[in-house]
Amino acid sequence: MLLAFSVAPSGQPAEGSAAAADGSVHDAVAEAVKIVRDSGLPNRTDSMFTTIEGEWDEVFDVVKRATEAVGKYGSRVSLVIKADIRPGYSGELTGKVERLEDALSAQES
C-alpha cells in the first residue's frame, strides 16, 4: 500500500513542551518525518505530504507514532490520510511516477 499523510499540531501546547514561538509547525513535522525515515520503509516527503510504502500494519504503526510525536506540540492534532491499497504490488512509490512520466513523454511525441 501507498499511504500519503499530513500531520500538524494546533492549539496551545502543554506547558513545558517544545513549540515554536512564531506558530510554525516545522519542528513538529520534522519530528514526524524523522520517525518515518527511521522506520526503514520506502518514503518520500514533499511540501504537503509524506508518502510511505509498506504493508497495512507497518504503515499505520509509523503514522500512529508520527502523530503521537506531533501531539506534544499542541493541544490537538490534524491528520490527513490518503491510501492506495493494491495487494501484490510493491515499488509503487516510484513506479507510479515513472508510468506517468512515460505517458507524458508519449503524448509529446
Query: Residue 22: what pLDDT?
Result: 61
pTM of the model: 0.86
Question: Helix H segments across the chain?
Answer: 26-38, 56-71, 92-108
Q: Is the pLDDT of residue 19 over 60?
A: no
Interatomic CA distance for residues 37 and 39, integer angstroms: 5
Q: Is the pLDDT of residue 14 over 70?
A: no
